[in-house]
Chain A
């Protein structure tokens, strides 16, 4: 087990990349602490799988280095790196029994037979396939196959890290939850570094201690689920995390005040004058409908989503979502919206700007 460091890393699938746009992974430095449970979150095509394959050695980066602890493994084969990886779609060895499938990574490493048998039994119990061990893997359902793939990923105890590439895509929802819990307990039990790629934020937030959000080939933020929610470092994080995502308004920033199309908003902190495309962001949870305070709003629709209601509205010429707590009536005289001052984020060219005390 080791800390994984990415230095100056970048990757392009073209042999002669011309500009930054040709890179699937933009230049980055990143450290994965030993024993951390990470989720790698981002929309499809943002470079998550590329990053994962570079860590496991399936892909050689165009530039930069990969370190395990202090050892440079950039040029090393997957086998030498001793890493487990589970793929999005099930990979099983059809002609083998479930037992042989689970034992395969151990047998290839010439482990002691008694140890292999014990390990296989243990993993089979974990994925709930003890009764299936002597069946051929061929002809099993997709989620049974994926459970075998997961099992093969977890069967080695001495791995440096376990990488999961959207492993639960093909699994039934109730089984998904169970397996995720299993992965968590596995993490607690063995303390492997785990990196879990997903585009499902619930999955990411429930699995990981730290969530890494990627956007367009870059890591835009790493933090606890709470940090991502409260202080999104990039507009993409604001929009991607949360349901619905953060409301963003184009605004001109002047000191401690933001000028929107519909009026001015006090920010509570001073930002001086900010260059570039400036926006302010507010979570739907922190916007409040009022009878006159704040900026004018037009309510379009009210959705009841169970625990609270969601108001779809329009303010300053832009769509806006507001979470209305249960019990608070939504009436026609609610004509304005005000934002909780200390929850407003300011962005310049999509990146968060910190203000100073006014």
Chain B
């Protein structure tokens, strides 16, 4: 059959193009524009080339924020993934309590980020907060507003409280999909509880766990609202993560050029990590299908 050539078809793509342009391409290009220019307002731009990028790559401030960010993501992943799996393994598999626990687990995920921040900000206050006050009553010197370690602990516990459910629910879904015959065979083979986890449950959860790790990594790497509400990045710079630093730089100091360069590098890092994950996952899928 002859292929019909109809250039009018391009018009059908137009709405999408317009929407994507306004939602993604134009803002991104604006950032690119800022990153290679210096501006003093009034829409006056002076070409500076890659100067901002050089400055950012060598900036100690950015290195510190990146270090804190990596440490934060590593800690919460190291807590949330095993804890989420542990919770999923112990959740009731069906029946009334199964549904109740499922709903309870989903609750933290439904709370808006700034509300989570506010809850923990008040919860941890030594003067009126339930947590802070109780700890003080026990004679524990806890104060997230002037002790960096306390601030870190608060931010991490808050993130674990907020997001472990996500890992648990994904792992739970993975566990539910394992056919009963596997557990029966394991009993016949006299496998220990650990062997069942190691050789049946973990391999079968692999796919969902990778997704959970990817989601938790991306989210934690971009975290802004909750720590900002609780600690504002302090005390000092101790909980200033990448996005908090970025906002300080762009909106606080109005250093649009460096901030734009920073954003682009930030974006590329996340893109790179996501790509690595994607490659790993598709490879696993292909292996599975073989």
**Chain A residues with a Cβ under 8 A of chain B:** 53, 56-58, 77-79, 83-85, 87-89, 91, 93-96, 104-105, 108-109, 138-139, 149, 152-153
Contacts of A85 in B (CB 8 A): 184-185, 188
Q: Nearest residue in A to B188 (C-beta to C-beta)?
A: A85
How would residues 178 to 197 of chain B score, 1 for a CB under 8 Å from any chain A CB and 0 otherwise? 01011011011111100100
Given A93-B199, A139-B287, decide whether A105 and B190 contact each other with a Cβ distance below 8 A. yes
Q: Are B187 and A58 in contact (CB under 8 A)?
A: yes
Chain B residue total in the interface (Cβ 8 A): 19
Taken together as a complex, chains A and B put the C-alpha atoms of A38 and B179 apart, in Å, by 27
Q: Is the CB of B203 within 8 A of A89?
A: no
**Which chain A residues lie closer than 8 Å to B290 at the CB level?**
139
Chain B positions 252 through 290: 1 when the CB is less than 8 Å from some CB of chain A, otherwise 0: 000000000000000000000000000000000001101
Whether the Cβ atoms of A95 and B203 lie closer than 8 Å is yes
Inter-chain CA distance A80–B185, complex, in Å, is 14
Q: List 6 A-B contacts (CB under 8 A).
A: A78-B187, A87-B184, A89-B181, A94-B204, A108-B190, A138-B203
Query: B181–A56 contact, CB under 8 A?
Result: no
Query: What would 18 more interface pairs be, CB under 8 Å, given A91-B184, A139-B288?
Result: A53-B184, A56-B188, A58-B184, A83-B188, A87-B184, A88-B181, A89-B179, A91-B181, A91-B182, A91-B185, A94-B199, A104-B199, A108-B191, A108-B192, A108-B195, A109-B190, A138-B203, A153-B188
A96: B residues at CB distance < 8 A = 199
CA A95 to CA B284, docked complex, whole Å: 12
* Pairwise interchain contact A95-B189, C-beta atoms closer than 8 A: no
In the complex, which residues 35-69 of chain B have their Cβ closer than 8 Å to any Cβ of chain A?
Answer: none
Q: List chain A residues, Cβ under 8 A from B287.
A: 138-139
Give chain B nearest CB distance to A342 CB in angstroms. 47
Q: Which of B179, B187, B192, B290 has the most CB of A within 10 A?
A: B187
Residue B87 at the chain A interface, CB threshold 8 Å: no
Q: Which residues of B contact A89 (CB under 8 A)?
A: 179, 181
In the complex the two chains form, what is the Cα distance from A88 to B182 in whole Å?
11
Q: Which residue of A lies closest to B289 (CB)?
A: A139
Chain A: minimal CB distance from B202 (Å): 8
By a CB distance below 8 angstroms, the chain A residues around B249 are none
Q: Complex: how many Å from CA A56 to CA B195? A: 20
Among A58, A84, A104, A149, contact of B191 (Cβ-Cβ < 8 Å): A104
Docked complex Cα distance between A108 and B198 (Å) = 14
Which chain B residue has the least Cβ–Cβ distance from A94?
B203
**Which residue of B has the minimal Cβ distance to A96?**
B199
Residues of A close to B191: CB separation below 8 A: 104, 108
Closest 4 CB pairs of A and B: A91-B185, A139-B290, A105-B189, A93-B199
Does B200 have its Cβ within 8 Å of any Cβ on chain A?
yes
Q: How many A-B residue pairs have CB under 8 A?
A: 59
Docked CA distance A149–B179 (Å) = 15
Tell me the bound Cα distance from A83 to B187 in angstroms. 10
Q: What is the CB-to-nearest-CB distance from A300 to chain B, in angstroms, rounded to a whole number?
A: 45
> Please, which residue of chain A has its CB at the minimum distance from the CB of B290?
A139
Q: Are B199 and A152 in contact, with the CB atoms below 8 A?
A: no
Closest to A88 in B: B181
Contacting residues, chain B, for A93 (C-beta < 8 A): 199-200, 203
A67 to B288, CA, bound (A): 43
A34 to B187 alpha-carbon distance, docked (Å): 23
Residues of the B chain whose Cβ atoms lie less than 8 Å from the Cβ of A77 = 187
The answer for the CA separation of A108 and B196 in the assembled complex, in Å, is 12
CB contacts (< 8 Å) of A57 on chain B: these are 187
A223 to B184, CA, bound (A): 30
* Alpha-carbon distance between A102 and B283 when the two chains are bound, in angstroms: 27
Contacts of A83 in B (CB 8 A): 188
Assembled-state Cα–Cα distance A93/B200 (Å) = 6
Q: Mark B24-40, 1 if CB is under 8 A from A, else 0.
A: 00000000000000000
Q: Name the CB-closest residue of A to B200.
A: A93
In the complex, what's the smallest C-beta–C-beta distance from A10 to chain B, in angstroms?
21
Could you tell me the distance between the alpha carbons of A94 and B184 in the complex, rounded to whole angstroms?
Answer: 16
Question: In the complex the two chains form, is B203's CB within 8 Å of A149's CB?
Answer: no
Is the Cβ of A108 less than 8 Å from the Cβ of B181? Answer: no
Closest A residue, CB atoms, query B199: A93
User: Closest CB of chain B to A200's CB: distance in Å?
Assistant: 20
- A153 contact set on B, CB distance < 8 A: 188
Cα A242 to Cα B58 in complex, Å, equals 85
Which single residue of chain B is at the shortest CB-CB distance from A84? B188
B200: chain A residues within 8 A (beta carbon): 93
* A79→B199 contact, CB < 8 A: no
**Which among A93, A95, A138 has the highest number of chain B CB atoms within 10 Å?**
A93
Compute how far the CA of A77 lies from the CA of B179 in the bound complex, rounded to whole angstroms: 20
CB distance from B267 to the nearest CB of A (A): 36
In the complex, residue of chain A having the shortest beta-carbon distance to the beta carbon of B184 = A58
Chain A residues whose CB sits within 8 angstroms of the CB of B199 once the complex forms: 93-96, 104
B288 touches A108 (CB 8 A): no
C-alpha spacing A210/B195, complex, angstroms: 38
Closest A residue, CB atoms, query B198: A95
Q: Which residues of B contact A53 (CB under 8 A)?
A: 184
CA distance A353 to B100 in the complex (A): 57
Set of chain B residues within 8 Å of A149, measured between Cβ atoms: 185
Q: Of the candidates A88, A104, A138, which one forms a contact with B189 in the assembled complex, judged by CB atoms under 8 Å apart?
A: A104
Nearest-CB distance from B284 to chain A (Å)? 10
CA distance A89 to B290 in the complex (A): 18
A58 closest partner in B (C-beta)? B184
* Cβ-closest chain A residue relative to B204: A94
CB contacts (< 8 Å) of A87 on chain B: these are: 181, 184-185
Query: Could you say which residues of chain B place their CB within 8 Å of the CB of A56?
Result: 188
**Nearest chain B residue, comparing its CB with the CB of A155:** B189
Shortest distance from the beta carbon of A75 to any chain B beta carbon, whole Å: 15
* List of A residues within 8 angstroms of B181 by Cβ: 87-89, 91
How distant is A160 from chain B, measured CB to nearest CB, in Å?
A: 12
